[in-house]
Structure 1
């Protein structure tokens, strides 16, 4: 079931979409249906983005940092003036819930496709919102929510709130800055982290505390309200499958609620909207205990379109963006409450640029080959394009795959099939993880809560590279060397070495009689063993040695690595075919294989000679089994906090510094006790695997020298 288009005359001539990525593409799609000219905006990093290509007109805002582009009110207003935009659709995130932005648009005579400023101000501050709706009979979670709470007051109030506690930023949404605290001793550090993240993401570090509800389920209600006093709800969405308070899979309707509770929670959402004279599309979020599904507690109201709005559209047939535009133009709602019917079931999965096997660290790169699903009951809201460069400057969500079915089981099956037909080469994604999650028995049965993912993740079995993929990548590398045309002896594939012939590591060629290749592929998971592959002969006729076993292998003619080429490799007489892409600059090979209807994606990365040497040197200086004293960045990003100074002595596990990328902050801790060596400061840009700090263990002799009264320096330490 898909939303029905409106056949009305244009409501505005030109609408500017003040956002990026898949939501900008989705809004532009409806604007085209409505016959409205669309204007896209972009930063330097997004000059080639899909939303820029799909809009009727595009305007540059500024450099990549969001504060200089997508969060710049002045830049967006200038784009409106230069294009004659009569209205602005903010999407979600960025300026979508910014009251100052809405006011600036009003002052400029431009319509904000969103709620009034008063609604934004009241509901945009979670503390005020909670206190406000409580006064209008909407139940709320126990806690402390007052303006201007400093750490001292929060620490003092925590005991009365009771543990476990949830720290929440008053501004913003998306789970950013939220911290669950189980023990009183962890609260001070968690407050610091929450304030830092909230200030960075929302420009406001105000916090409040709530009791952490056991076995919680996250249920939200979609509402629409016009300027004529009409308010309706379009049923609820189940958003309980979350990781670190970030939704992963959503569905509509929820299997938890019966008809009576659905009516009560819908009416509570409408009352919350009426209490602030809300207009437009909005979502009221509730916390419901799995043990008491007839009780619900207000969490917050999102005064914008939600990421997961497609599942509501799929079961109601209502185009929410079209309704937003109609409401902003002064039209009444096109439907009444009795017109709202929930038909079938819809489930949405978010595709992120992240590596689930490495603690979901953000990934970046370029889309070298893309396959997205199609079919009855399947919808894809996507920002992806072949050749698209995915920046680490923004949120890592790339696309959403939504499936509808006559019942929940059919929708889940259709979504799994759609994900099985999805492949993105060049960027690490969470597609395999999503399929593993959908296959979980509790997910299938609808036994959901917001902690399920954390409980299940350690037991998920990700696919590891198999012999055919390893052989294919090794032979592709051999072919790449053989095809290299360069006058430099360092790039010639003729086996030349300054010290004569001999086996090389990560070098050599695929010619008979040339130097055999000795390749080292990085372990697929942290702490795992690297995989060594030896190749002798040519890429077409080779002997491949993997894990102590020897195989005959060869690439078939026509195999290539550029732009998603088809690769066929014979391994011990069995033919294997892949779609492949290569990243020569990073030594990575991407392979998508499987049947026509079900794909798997594998990324194999060659370790450079420098990396191998660094690993050998790091291992040589410590006893087997000891922690690695070198702390490396797990991702490209920006240093946002440094907790220690160069030369400090720290215990094992002490926080050292934090790196942020794609709105995710990753804290790095000391792998062992020792003296820290680092030279970074907040604001510094770092690369993936860059050395950020080194720990030098203190030996017994160091300690003895420091405390020996006969040692002059030691005597000074003793006196101190």
Structure 2
């Protein structure tokens, strides 16, 4: 991970650098990349850092970076990172004078801030009034409206039942609308509803998510703006009442209400609108006596860029804060600490200068080829980019196990440039140099997204990603087969490993008493697809035949001084890629793209043939009776029971992994058998239910068992990254 300070050619603040340490010891009540990022600033300031960790994070990077570390408890967040008593005990045991909550977990928890004060600890965040008002979306929205800040039309009253919300949607809001939990942020539990018939079911899901994420199932409704842009303003405020803004960030590139790429400044706003939206943010902060770093989020219509509407205020540091740091030269964590210690702001509004452009891309543990479902595994190979204008905030290290307990964000890759074009080019190059093997990531998706013409031109809105996905050309998706050199490199690697023995019987060269025969390697590249590679040994070297096509010359050789890097020559074309094996699994990466190939044993191939699955899982378009979990996770709801008659498209159960809920649907009509219960842990591709094909009379189905409107498994944010 590179330094968290601005890079050498990024701007630096003209404000004098204070020398006094604001605290002697600070406990960081968080994990992952944000804990690492905070600890690095503490180290730069000469402040002793204390990390806390769960059993799942015993070997995490933030634990090794800190000066001291304290175990909180088991992996589950409520038993560790949300355990206020355990965190306070850790602070007392280590002599901490302050607690930095990072973002997510307890960062906006009024009870935690109050408990810190009662224990004599400084909470590095705003005061209790700001947390109470802005921590409740309903209260916060009504509050800023009274201060003259424009708000989105909607319905926001506490204590409303589902029936009252349904009535309000028809009478006061209209469709499409957005359901939002009142007590949280970061897209957790947010659902778009396009028609009245969808609202009742969506409210049930949203309440379950809100209760599980925040302990509060209060919901509000807002009018959904067509093609809106998500623009937020960074504010800093001190205890004397001084409030400034540090410009805005464009956060419109989102999936499922989760930010993917952010930049500063926004390519949409002109200087006059920037000043107006910045003053509106400062007005919102002043209205609650805000202190420290905070973010005020707005929606701006692309068709009317001079109009903006308040969404919410995040009373904490944001995931995307590095882009603001790179264009201002300020370390926001440092100034959070200094303001918490009673220091005044380092500069006035007139002294704030934005220099250049910065763009951030979030690296998630997710598999784009499987609908961006969460991915788990161990980091077998890691390379993170360096260079002019490049910054990486990361918690990754070789050997780290990525579980499904916490948020799937692994790292952030940030680029600064003199202008937006340079920043985009640098970020693309940095992503190409990012190698994470052993767990699926979204790095290739990020590179393809940056090359989208609308993204390059700054024509952004919150629905752009979903509209663009079909045309991005993600490898591994239907119609985008794995490149031949990936499967050939894997086969040649296996071939070389098999040939490490001695004697003719140990050599995979086809030697036999009679005509030479090729060595065959069957590689599973997805749940339903395999690739077969035949390796033949001839007088001129090796040749390969992929899926019984004509053989072509091939060779695989390691690249000197680059462990895990290989050159694969296939029919005269040379490709350089990274390759690492983990038993029968081989991970390959190139230019940000990675793939997992599994060497199928003879027994597996025979079993598939006997089951009639074939290399493509049966006839194209044939629905399979098995319902498999698309990722490892926990069953949180079973909607139907064994013996029910169901129809294709009907929701059977819901699995949660990495703070996302995934609804599993039947692919065929028939008689249902369910093999799991709520609370069960399931593996990737585990059969959780099956449907025996029988004639189903739709008139026998009750209204409650009508098929879902969704045609494929869907995902609902539960505890996504706290944007």
State the TM-score, normalizing by the size of structure 2.
0.88
Residues 1:519 and 2:521 aligned together: yes
Deviations 1:378-431 (A, max 9, x none): 111111112221121111111111111111111111111111221111121111
Deviation at 1:369, TM superposition (A): 1.6
Which residue in 1 is equivalent to 2:717? none
Which residue in 1 is equivalent to 2:146? 135
Contact 2:670 2:695 in 1 (8 A): no
Which residue in 2 is equivalent to 1:152? 163
Deviation at 1:437, TM superposition (A): 0.6
Deviations 1:211-232 (A, max 9, x none): 0011200010000111111111
Describe how 1:235-384 pairs up with structure 2 within 5 A.
Answer: 235-384=247-396
Contact 2:534 2:548 in 1 (8 A): no
Which residue in 2 is equivalent to 1:613? 607
Describe how 1:9-158 pairs up with structure 2 within 5 A.
Answer: 9-158=20-169
Local SS of the residue matching 2:239: coil
Which residue in 2 is equivalent to 1:717? none
Whole-Å Cα distance in 1 between the matches of residues 504 and 57 of structure 2?
38
Contact 1:535 1:543 in 2 (8 A): yes
Whole-Å Cα distance in 1 between the matches of residues 399 and 378 of structure 2?
6
The worse-fitting range, judged by mean Cα deviation, of 269-278 and 199-208 is 199-208
Whole-Å Cα distance in 2 between the matches of residues 653 and 73 of structure 1?
43
Distance change (3 Å), C-alpha of 1:568 and 1:440: closer
Whole-Å Cα distance in 2 between the matches of residues 131 and 571 of structure 1?
64
| Alignment equivalent of 1:588, drawn from 573, 585, 588 | 585
Contact 1:6 1:33 in 2 (8 A): no
Contact 2:544 2:554 in 1 (8 A): no
Contact 1:471 1:553 in 2 (8 A): no
Deviation at 1:294, TM superposition (A): 1.1
Whole-Å Cα distance in 1 between the matches of residues 385 and 351 of structure 2?
32
Whole-Å Cα distance in 2 between the matches of residues 625 and 443 of structure 1?
34
Deviation at 1:290, TM superposition (A): 0.8
Local SS of the residue matching 1:197: helix
Deviations 1:254-308 (A, max 9, x none): 1211111111111111111111111111000001111111111110000000000
Contact 1:543 1:550 in 2 (8 A): no
The worse-fitting range, judged by mean Cα deviation, of 226-235 and 513-522 is 513-522
The worse-fitting range, judged by mean Cα deviation, of 275-284 and 620-629 is 620-629
Which residue in 2 is equivalent to 1:472? 489
Deviations 1:216-252 (A, max 9, x none): 0001000011111111111111100101100000011
Residues 1:165 and 2:177 aligned together: yes
Whole-Å Cα distance in 2 between the matches of residues 354 and 137 of structure 1?
41
| Alignment equivalent of 1:645, drawn from 641, 646, 657 | 641
Which residue in 2 is equivalent to 1:695? 691
Deviation at 1:576, TM superposition (A): 4.4
Distance change (3 Å), C-alpha of 1:618 and 1:656: farther
Local SS of the residue matching 1:294: strand
Contact 2:262 2:359 in 1 (8 A): yes
The worse-fitting range, judged by mean Cα deviation, of 510-519 and 146-155 is 510-519
Contact 1:125 1:171 in 2 (8 A): yes
Contact 1:175 1:246 in 2 (8 A): yes
| Alignment equivalent of 1:602, drawn from 587, 592, 595 | 595
Deviations 1:63-97 (A, max 9, x none): 11111111111111111111111101010001101
Distance change (3 Å), C-alpha of 1:37 and 1:300: same
Residues 1:530 and 2:530 aligned together: yes
Local SS of the residue matching 2:551: strand
The worse-fitting range, judged by mean Cα deviation, of 598-607 and 236-245 is 598-607
Contact 1:20 1:41 in 2 (8 A): yes
Whole-Å Cα distance in 2 between the matches of residues 106 and 484 of structure 1?
67
Deviation at 1:46, TM superposition (A): 1.2
Deviation at 1:611, TM superposition (A): 8.0
Whole-Å Cα distance in 2 between the matches of residues 637 and 616 of structure 1?
30
Contact 1:636 1:686 in 2 (8 A): yes
Contact 2:443 2:592 in 1 (8 A): no
Distance change (3 Å), C-alpha of 1:317 and 1:470: same
Which residue in 2 is equivalent to 1:713? none
Which residue in 1 is equivalent to 2:710? none
Whole-Å Cα distance in 1 between the matches of residues 316 and 148 of structure 2?
23
Which residue in 2 is equivalent to 1:549? 549
Whole-Å Cα distance in 2 between the matches of residues 573 and 311 of structure 1?
43
Distance change (3 Å), C-alpha of 1:420 and 1:382: same
Contact 2:175 2:193 in 1 (8 A): yes
Distance change (3 Å), C-alpha of 1:291 and 1:22: same
Which residue in 1 is equivalent to 2:442? 430
Whole-Å Cα distance in 1 between the matches of residues 174 and 432 of structure 2?
44
Local SS of the residue matching 1:627: coil
Distance change (3 Å), C-alpha of 1:558 and 1:162: closer
Which residue in 2 is equivalent to 1:204? 216
Local SS of the residue matching 2:306: coil
Distance change (3 Å), C-alpha of 1:470 and 1:82: same
| Alignment equivalent of 1:657, drawn from 650, 653, 656 | 653
Local SS of the residue matching 1:677: strand
The worse-fitting range, judged by mean Cα deviation, of 258-267 and 433-442 is 258-267
Distance change (3 Å), C-alpha of 1:472 and 1:646: same
Matched length: 677
Whole-Å Cα distance in 2 between the matches of residues 705 and 126 of structure 1?
43
Which residue in 1 is equivalent to 2:466? 454
Deviation at 1:494, TM superposition (A): 5.6
Contact 1:484 1:493 in 2 (8 A): no
Which residue in 1 is equivalent to 2:578? 579
Deviation at 1:164, TM superposition (A): 0.4
State the TM-score, normalizing by the size of structure 1.
0.89
Whole-Å Cα distance in 2 between the matches of residues 414 and 359 of structure 1?
28
Describe how 1:1-16 pairs up with structure 2 within 5 A.
Answer: 1=10, 6-16=17-27
Which residue in 2 is equivalent to 1:566? 565
Contact 1:619 1:628 in 2 (8 A): no
Whole-Å Cα distance in 1 between the matches of residues 78 and 542 of structure 2?
53
Q: Unpaired runs of 5+ in structure 1? A: 486-491, 496-507, 707-720
Deviation at 1:511, TM superposition (A): 6.4
Deviation at 1:604, TM superposition (A): 2.2
Local SS of the residue matching 1:32: helix
Contact 1:582 1:590 in 2 (8 A): yes
Q: Unpaired runs of 5+ in structure 2? A: 1-9, 476-480, 702-723
Whole-Å Cα distance in 1 between the matches of residues 580 and 206 of structure 2?
40
Deviation at 1:458, TM superposition (A): 1.0
Deviation at 1:678, TM superposition (A): 1.0
Whole-Å Cα distance in 1 between the matches of residues 457 and 609 of structure 2?
46
Distance change (3 Å), C-alpha of 1:632 and 1:480: farther
Q: Which has the higher contact order (CA 8 A, sep 6+)?
A: 2
Whole-Å Cα distance in 1 between the matches of residues 167 and 395 of structure 2?
46
Whole-Å Cα distance in 2 between the matches of residues 353 and 98 of structure 1?
27
Whole-Å Cα distance in 1 between the matches of residues 605 and 337 of structure 2?
54
Local SS of the residue matching 1:264: helix
Local SS of the residue matching 2:304: coil
Describe how 1:203-242 pairs up with structure 2 within 5 A.
Answer: 203-242=215-254
The worse-fitting range, judged by mean Cα deviation, of 569-578 and 50-59 is 569-578
